Amino acid sequence: MTRVFPLVLAAGVTLLSTASALLLLGYLSQVRQPMGVVRDALIIETARSQENVASIASLKQFAGIDNSPRAHELTQVADTLQHRLRTLAGTATRLPTSQRDSVVGYLQRAEHSINLIAPSPLSDTTADITDTLPGLASTIDELAIYLMETESHQRKLDRRLALVATVLTALVLMVGMVLFVALLRLERHSNALRYLAMTDDLTQLYNRRQWLDQAPHLLALRRPADSPVALMLLDLDNFKRINDGYGHPTGDKVLKSFGEMLKRVARRSDLAARLGGDEFALLMPQADARNAETVGERIRHETEHFDLTQPAGGANLTVSIGIAVSSHADDDFSTLYRRADQALYQAKHQGRNCIRLG
């Protein structure tokens, strides 16, 4: 659990950073889109209002002729313009506060002017139209210019925001990836340190501390509970002669070769270790006395026939082995170890290069 946590944390941070950046881009896009639609609608309606003002200008010469079709058309155009200004006012409420206030100010001025243009009766409005129409046209034109400038400014701002969001997304992704790589390296370094703490540098077998920590658990968790477990303790005979006669580097090579042989002979489920010096151990789940003796004999035979021409100049190497087997659910590791140690003691004092059962 603790080994995968840094990787899970790194992956989670990277995914969270990526999701946050994408959400930011999506939010900016969703925010800009409605505002763009609102401004486009205002610009379109303002352009139509300008057309209405132009129509009023062309019809104003008939405004004083009662019941003239052009007079009635003027009334209809004025009503349409008035309705359009109200529509613009409603649409403007969706703008940001500063833009909304400016647009509403233009619309209020235009509304005031249109109210002067479209009173009843029409026969009395010619002078009012002549005086009011230029102001109305100017107000609508100013509104159109304001909206176009606002749209242009907003598009520039949108491009800058998009650039900032893109750069921010890239930075977030970069930071996430850097963090992921850093945590991955930290995990690898941690695994390397953990491996060094668990293994013997020379033979790459479990060291004494790790083996003594793992072996009792392996014994306690065996299934079924009364299945046999064999413990083998091994001690190289007269190894001190090799160290003294050929030097410790040569002794280290012999120990390394013995450790490689022990790993090769051991099954995948076995727990092999160098306990220290020339002492080794092998815990064998699901192995009775016969199985253990077979494996022990193979180890003894291969050790006896080691080719020590290099590095030890042809010196002889043998190993003494003590074996204890547990087949009872209530057997504990300390008892099993003590029996195997006693068997090893017998092998060492009964001629060496042999196997004894405890």
Active site residues: 278
Assign 20 to helix, strand or coil: helix
Residues near 342 by beta carbon (within 8 Å), at least 6 away in sequence: 322, 358
Q: Which long-range contacts (CB under 8 A, 24 or more apart) does 334-339 make?
A: 336/219, 336/229, 336/231, 337/231, 337/233, 339/231
| HSE (side-chain half, CA atoms, 13 Å) at 126 | 9
d(CA 228, CA 286): 5
Ramachandran assignment for 280, one of left (phi > 0), alpha (psi -120 to 50 degrees), beta (any other): beta
Q: Supply the angle between the helices 5-59 and 97-117 in degrees, to the nearest 10.
A: 20
Roughly what angle, to the nearest 10 degrees, separates helices 248-265 and 239-246? 140
Tokens of 49: 């209002």
Task: Tell me which DSSP letter residue 279 carries.
Answer: E
Compute the distance between CA of residue 152 and CA of residue 101 in angstroms, rounded to an integer: 18
